[in-house]
Structure 1
Amino acid sequence: MNKALEQTEQAREETARKIDWRRRISDHVAYGLLIYTGLHIFLTLTQLKSGNGSMLPYLALVVLVAAIIPACRWFEMRWSDLPDVKAHDPALAPAFRREVALMWLAVFGLPVLLTLGFKAGSTLF
C-alpha cells in the first residue's frame, strides 16, 4: 500500500514539474498574436476592398502595434516573473485558465470590434 501511495505522489510531482506556466503563457501569447494579426489583416483588407478610400483601416492596423502587443506582453510578464517553485505549482491552474480565456477572447473579439468601430466611423466621415 505504501509503495502505491509513493508512486502516486511521485507521479503527481512529475506532472507538476512538467507544467511550466511561464512557457505555456508564452506559447498562448505567440499563437494569439499570430491569430489576431491574421484576423485583423483579413478584416482590414475586406474593408479596403470596399473601395471607400478611407484611412481608417490603416489606423486600425496601427492600433495593433500601439495597444495589442503591449497588452499581450503584460499577460506574459505576469507569469514569466514567477519563481521556479510557483512556475510549476498546479494550484495556479484556475488563474492561468481564466487569464488565457480572457486573452483568447480579446484575440478573437478585438479585431471584429475594431473593424466594426472603424466601419461605423468611416460612414461618419
Structure 2
Amino acid sequence: MTPNGNRHGRTGTALHPAPRRAAQPRDWRKRISDNLAYGLLVYTGLQIFVTMKQLKELSGTMLPYMALIVLVGGIIPAARMLERHWDKLDDIHAFDPAEAPRFARDRAIIWAAAIGLPFLLALIAKALHSLT
C-alpha cells in the first residue's frame, strides 16, 4: 500500500482523493497570443468559405484580392498593435488580475473581427458588384 491508502501507486481514489493544487494563474501574454492565433485561423477559414461561396455567385469578383489586401494590409498589423501592450508586460504583470478587463476587451475585439470581417467583406464585395 502507498501512503495515500492506494495499493496501485495512483494519486487519488474515491476514498482518498488526490490533493488539489492551487490554481495556477495563466500568463496574459500567452492567452492573448493564443486568442490571436486562433482568431486568425478562424478568420482565414471563414474568409475561404465565404469567398468560395461568393465566387460561385458572382463571377469576376475582386473579393479574393480585396480579402488578401485586408488580411495583409490591415488584420496582421492590427493584431500586432493589439498584442503590443501584452508583449511589454514583465513577468510580474503578466499574471496580474488587474489586467483581466483589458484582456476581456481585447479578446472581444479579436473574435468580433475574426468572425465579422469575412462577412462584412463579402457584403461590401456584393454591394460593389451590384453597382457595376
Task: Give the TM-score of the pair, scaled to structure 2.
Answer: 0.77
CA drift at 1:65: 1.2
2:117 corresponding residue in structure 1 = 110
Q: Which has the higher contact order (CA 8 A, sep 6+)?
A: 1
Among residues 101, 109, 121, which one is paired with 1:94 in the alignment? Answer: 101
Secondary structure of the equivalent of 2:81? Answer: helix
Task: Give the TM-score of the pair, scaled to structure 1.
Answer: 0.81
**Number of residues of Structure 1 aligned to a counterpart in Structure 2:** 112
Consecutive aligned runs of 4 or more in structure 1 exceeding 6 Å deviation: none
- Counting aligned pairs with the same residue, the percent is 56
8 Å CA contact 1:44–1:115 kept in 2: the answer is yes
Unaligned runs of 5+ in 1: 1-10
State the distance in 2 between where 1:60 and 1:19 align: 34
Write the letter of the residue equivalent to 1:80: D
Greater helix percent: which structure?
Answer: 1
Instruction: Determine if the alignment matches structure 1 residue 52 to structure 2 residue 59.
Output: yes
The 5 Å alignment of 1:1-125 reads: 11=22, 15=24, 18-125=25-132
Moved more, 93-102 or 23-32: 93-102
CA drift at 1:51: 4.3
